[in-house]
Every structure is written in structure tokens, then in C-alpha cells.
């Protein structure tokens, strides 16, 4: 959630900061602001609503030239989305300005202490209390970095803090605990941001920050220390995508662009992980093979779309390895006293690598001595850093809030993990694994086939855009696809949509079926004859009650097509791989419906790309 930008260097700070905030609009926000150090001290502008409101304010009330500043897009937690609650927040004298991501859990006590000390608050936020504490330390004679260190020692909760001091030229200081922050290293300039997208226009060299670290940047230097004032190692890395990857490239929405980028993203995620013998090589699996052979259970932990990928992973991993797999919502995992031992493998899935609930699950699992493998798209993120092993997806930047290529590449990573475990545990013969790997390698071309034939899907969106309810049905791996298809439609079109296991139809959901109700049904390949036939029976059940049936099935499945009012053909693949293809028309359907309704597809209401608070 939220976006932070800090800058010091030779460019105009306002230009850099506003452009950086624009590149992070996808994260979700309801107000924006900026503060810079000028010859007259710290000057701030902030406005509720979209970033354009701030830009208008900056035109009407221009800032003086500055080469040092901070900016923020806020997603409201404490206090509503108002001008007063927008960041940055200033200290009592206006000498210090601060922006904050996260939640300060003990802010009520801190606020009471400050009010008793005569401080008057201008906002309802938890963040303003930190600004006053920081300025108090600065006024007591401490430098900005030491003042930050003393301040964070008073705080409970999760936070990224970035601050400037009117009397500390050419310096920006930040602190990080359980909330994302990365340093961009340029030529005579430095950047701080929640996301590398904000500075990718200027540099592709970055430094990842660890937990409980403070960083001080000047145009020529980066100094990283711990909250305990110990020197911390600097861990640089190179960003392997450029500005063009974060641009729309002629598409109307980032989401639409990302839907069509999925074949390449899947290819990139497979790249370098398949040997000449068609067996798997996972260099990032830093867990001893002997330990992996000894595990007796797997728990997949994730949220939202990643949770649906985990549900599909359960079918695949259990089938290939015969290891029992549970799939947990990260927000529930540690609160139900899960049974986790040293022989449990915990697999976490998070596109950003900063999802707060998932991060807490990682820490809980490791406290129980379990090994953790993370599946993540973001190099240097907290979750992979705190895990024992990682499988990076190579989806590139995903700007649309509703995940598309994040989902399909997470599926590929789950398949790679399952087959790798089967390979090292001798649960599958080498030729069986090689055959499945060849099927994986064939998926991008088959995804292209589906994406080249979306005319029926687009027409369907026009027909159904005014429906009040849409249902999705599936069995086996088709059930999580139904859940994900419904989620996509809810997220961006704001239509009521539900996904159900088709076998549960007669246990309640069929009561919802009425004349004309659109029902999407994902039909498994005919290689699973019994499963296939049961889903075809489900199609007939809802059709007999007046439903409009939209059927996704193999392109030459005449039996499924016979009972379809609308037929969406899919290339033939093994059953476990069908979700990678079946989800594509459902993503495009949701995108087109939302577009026709006039919604902001990339930034749906009330949602943020990365949920970094519990």
C-alpha cells in the first residue's frame, strides 16, 4: 500500500518526486503530498484525492527550486482521506517533514504524551506523532540520522519512515521495519522508494534494505546502519527490466497489456530452470536435498490471487509427490495454532514479497523450525530475504492492481517446485518429469493461441456488462480457476460474482440459478473422463434451470460444446496445466466489462496493489 519517494541530487526534486509517485499510483492511494527543502526551510503541498489534485495545487502554489525532498501517496488507515491527513507531516516548528507507510500500534500513547507536552496535532493520523517525536530529537541537538534512530526505538508496529530536515542539506534519512523500501543509486543523485518503478527512468542500480535498518543518502553516498547503530552490509543489485516495461505500450490499460504479456512472462519464468536432459535445475533452492527428502507435509500460505494459485499447487504437488499439502490464507495461518514441525515445508506466495500477513506467516513458520520457500516476483523483497529458499517469478513489473501475469507465473513456479520435489524424492521417473517439462515449455505458444482468439470473449462482455450476478463453476483445478475468475470480475467491475466447486452445486448454490443467469463453467480435459463427464452433467443442471452457460473446454470437446450457449475453446493440455489457459479469457472478460462500465481498471476503488499492513 502507499508509495514513498525520496530524492537528493542535481535534478529538480519536485519533478523527480511527482513522476515517481505517478509510477506508483497502481499501489492504491487516496491522497498525495510532497515536501522539499528550500532556502526558506521545508515547504509542503498535499491534497486529498488523485495525484492530479496535487499537481493542480503545485501549479497554483509553486514550490521554490529544490534538489532534496520527499513525497507520498497515502491509503487511509488512521483518519480519513483529507488534506490534513495526507502526508508529509511536519513537526511542530516545521523544521522536519516525514512520510510514513505502515501502522504505529502505540501511537495513542505517543500522541497523549505529546499533547501533554503542549503539541497541537493538525491531523488524525498515527504518522504525525512520529514527525513530532523526530523533530523533538532534532531540536535536542541530534543529527537527523541519530534522531531517527532514537525515534524508531519508541515505535511499535510496522513502518517505513523517510524524513528531511531544513538544517540538514543534501540529506534524506529513512528507517525500515516490515514495510518495503529500496535505494536507487544514480550518478551524483540518490533515490528512496517503495518500489523501483519510481526511479527506473533514472537508474537501474539499487540497494536492498534489511529489516530494522536506517539509511542516510546524500548525492554521493549511501550509509546503512541497524537500529542499534551497527554498520550494516550494503547489498546492491541490478534491475533487469527498464522503463519501457512499466509503460502501457499502446494498450488502454496496464492490466490489458499484462494479460497479453503472460506468454513471455511464463517463458521467462521457465528460463534457466530446465536442463538439456529436460530435468529441473532450481539454483535458488538453498535447502539441503536431504532435508527436502525428509519432509512429511507441505503448507502453502498466501492471500487473494496468490491463494488461488496455492490451491492449484495443492493438486499438482500432491499428485506428483504424494506429500500431503494444506493451503492456508496467510491472515488465518498463525492465529489457528497450526501444526508445523521441522519436517514441514512452508511455501509462501506473494507477488510483491511484502504482503504483511504472509510475512508474519514466514516468521511464525521459522519460529517453529520449519523451512520456508517463497515464490515472489520482486528481487530484494522482505519475504524472500527472510525465507530459506526462493523461486523468483520473472513477470516483470505488474502495474494493474488486479493480478494477471502474477497469477500465471506463480502457477509456473508452483509446478516447478512440485516437479523438483518429485525429481529429488524419486516420486516420478526421469522420463515422466521430462515429459511434463516439455508440456510446460509448450504452454506459452498455447497461451498465445487463446489470446489471439478473444473475439467471443469481448462480445460476451458487451452482452453481460449489465448483469447483476455472475457465477463460476469448476472441479479439480478448475475450481480455483472459478474462484479466480470471480475475483477478477469483482475487483474491477464491482459486479457480484461467486466461484463454486461444481460438485457442491446441489448442496446450495443451485438455488441462485434463474432464467438468464450467466454461469461460466470450466470443463476439465477428457483425459480425466469421470471428472469431465460430471462437469458436463453440471452444465446440463444449470441450463435446465434457465442459466446462460458459458463453457471453457478443449476446442474439439463436442459434448461440452453441445450444452454451451457460448463456447470458449482451449488448446489441449494435461489437466493440471489447464488453469494457465483457462484463466486467460476470464481475465480479459473482467477487463473488458470494467472498461465498458467506465471504471478505472488499473486502480479499482478501495484496493491497493501490495497490502503491507495486517
Residues with catalytic roles: 2, 609
3-class secondary-structure state, position 223: strand
Question: How many helices and strands in the chain, by DSSP H and E?
Answer: 19, 24
Residue 207 neighbours by CB under 8 Å, 6+ apart:
182, 183, 185, 215, 222, 224, 234, 235, 236, 237
DSSP strands (E only) in 20-146: 31-38, 41-48, 68-74, 89-90, 96-104
- Given a contact cutoff of 8 angstroms between Cβ atoms, the answer to whether 17 and 69 are in contact is yes
Phi, psi dihedral angles at 32 (to 5 degrees): -150, 155
Sheet of 96-104: strand order equals 89-90, 96-104, 157-165, 172-177, 213-218, 221-226
- Given a contact cutoff of 8 angstroms between Cβ atoms, the answer to whether 211 and 177 are in contact is yes
- Given a contact cutoff of 8 angstroms between Cβ atoms, the answer to whether 306 and 349 are in contact is yes
Gyration radius from the chain CA atoms: 25
Query: How far apart are alpha carbons 390 and 383 in whole angstroms?
Result: 9
Per the listing, cell 498455447 goes with 446
Query: How far apart are alpha carbons 87 and 4 in whole angstroms?
Result: 10
Residue 555 neighbours by CB under 8 Å, 6+ apart:
569, 570, 571, 572
Beta strand 371-376 with 68-74 is unpaired
Query: How far apart are alpha carbons 183 and 236 in whole angstroms?
Result: 9
Query: How far apart are alpha carbons 72 and 218 in whole angstroms?
Result: 20
Amino acid at each position: 500500500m502507499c508509495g514513498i519517494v525520496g530524492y537528493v541530487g542535481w535534478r529538480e526534486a519536485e519533478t523527480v518526486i511527482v513522476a515517481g509517485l505517478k509510477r506508483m499510483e497502481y499501489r492504491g492511494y487516496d491522497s498525495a503530498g510532497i515536501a522539499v527543502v528550500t532556502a526558506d526551510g521545508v515547504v509542503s503541498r498535499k491534497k486529498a484525492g488523485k495525484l492530479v489534485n496535487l499537481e493542480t495545487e503545485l501549479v497554483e502554489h509553486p514550490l521554490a527550486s529544490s534538489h532534496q525532498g520527499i513525497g507520498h501517496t497515502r491509503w487511509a488507515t488512521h483518519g480519513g482521506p483529507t488534506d490534513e491527513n495526507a502526508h508529509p507531516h511536519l513537526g511542530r516548528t516545521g523544521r522536519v517533514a516525514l512520510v510514513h507507510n505502515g501502522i504505529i500500534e502505540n501511537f495513542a500513547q505517543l500522541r497523549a504524551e505529546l499533547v501533554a507536552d503542549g503539541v497541537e496535532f493538525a491531523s488524525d493520523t498515527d504518522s504525525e506523532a512520529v514527525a513530532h517525536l523526530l523533530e523533538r530529537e532534532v531540536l535536542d541537538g541530534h543529527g537527523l540520522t541519530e534522531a531517527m534512530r532514537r525515534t524508531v526505538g519508541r515505535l511499535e508496529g510496522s513502518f517505513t519512515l523517510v524524513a528531511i530536515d531544513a538544517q540538514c542539506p543534501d540529506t534524506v534519512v529513512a528507517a525500515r521495519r516490515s514495510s518495503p523500501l529500496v535505494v536507487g543509486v544514480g550518478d551524483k543523485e540518490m533515490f528512496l522508494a517503495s518500489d523501483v518503478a519510481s526511479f527506473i527512468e533514472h537508474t537501474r542500480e539499487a540497494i536492498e534494505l534489511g529489516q530494522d535498518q536506517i539509511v542516510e543518502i546524500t548525492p554521493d553516498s549511501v550509509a546503512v546502519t541497524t537500529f542499534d547503530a551497527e554498520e550494516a552490509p550494503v547489498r546492491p543489485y541490478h534491475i533487469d527490466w527498464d522503463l519501457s516495461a512499466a509503460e502501457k505500450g499502446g494498450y488502454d490499460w496496464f492490466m490489458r497489456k499484462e494479460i497479453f504479456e503472460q506468454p513471455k512472462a511464463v517463458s521467462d519464468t521457465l528460463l534457466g530452470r530446465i536442463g538439456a536432459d529436460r530435468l529441473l535445475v532450481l539454483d535458488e533452492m538453498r535447502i539441503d536435498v536431504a532435508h527436502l527428502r525428509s519432509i512429511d507435509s507441505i503448507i502453502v500460505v498466501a492471500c487473494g490471487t496468490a491463494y488461488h494459485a496455492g490451491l492449484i499447487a495443492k493438486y499438482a504437488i500432491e499428485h506428483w509427490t504424494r506429500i500431503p499439502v494444506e493451503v492456508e490464507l496467510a491472515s488465518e495461518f498463525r492465529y489457528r495454532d497450526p501444526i508445523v514441525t521441522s519436517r514441514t515445508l512452508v511455501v509462501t506466495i506473494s507477488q510483491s514479497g511484502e504482503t504483511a500477513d504472509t510475512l508474519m506467516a514466514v516468521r511464525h513458520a521459522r519460529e517453529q523450525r520449519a523451512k520456508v520457500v517463497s515464490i515472489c516476483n520482486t528481487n530484494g523483497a522482505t519475504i524472500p530475504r527472510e525465507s530459506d529458499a526462493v523461486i523468483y517469478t520473472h513477470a516483470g513489473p505488474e502495474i494493474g492492481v488486479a493480478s494477471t501475469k502474477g497469477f500465471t507465473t506463480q502457477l509456473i513456479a508452483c509446478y516447478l517446485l512440485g516437479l523438483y520435489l518429485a525429481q529429488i524424492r524419486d516420486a516420478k521417473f526421469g522420463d515422466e518429469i521430462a515429459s511434463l517439462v516439455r508440456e510446460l515449455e509448450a504452454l506459452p505458444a498455447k497461451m498465445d493461441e487463446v489470446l489471439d482468439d478473444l473475439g467471443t470473449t469481448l462480445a460476451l462482455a458487451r452482452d453481460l456488462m449489465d448483469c447483476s450476478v455472475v457465477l463460476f463453476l469448476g472441479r479439480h483445478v478448475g475450481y480455483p480457476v472459478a474462484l479466480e475468475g470471480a475475483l477478477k470480475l469483482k475487483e474491477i467491475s464491482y459486479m457480484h460474482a461467486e466461484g463454486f466447486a461444481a460438485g457442491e452445486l446441489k448442496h446450495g448454490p443451485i438455488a441462485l440459478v434463474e432464467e438468464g443467469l450467466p454461469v461460466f463453467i470450466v470443463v476439465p480435459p477428457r483425459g480425466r473422463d469421470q471428472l469431465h463427464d460430471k462437469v458436463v452433467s453440471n452444465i446440463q443442471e444449470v441450463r435446465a434451470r434457465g442459466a446462460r452457460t458459458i463453457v471453457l473446454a478443449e476446442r474439439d470437446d463436442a459434448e461440452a460444446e453441445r450444452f454451451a450457449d457460448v463456447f470458449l475453446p482451449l488448446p489441449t493440455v494435461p489437466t493440471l496445466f489447464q488453469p494457465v489457459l483457462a484463466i486467460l479469457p476470464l481475465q480479459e472478460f473482467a477487463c473488458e466489462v470494467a472498461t465498458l462500465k467506465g471504471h478505472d481498471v488499473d486502480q479499482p476503488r478501495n484496493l491497493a496493489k501490495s497490502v503491507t499492513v495486517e
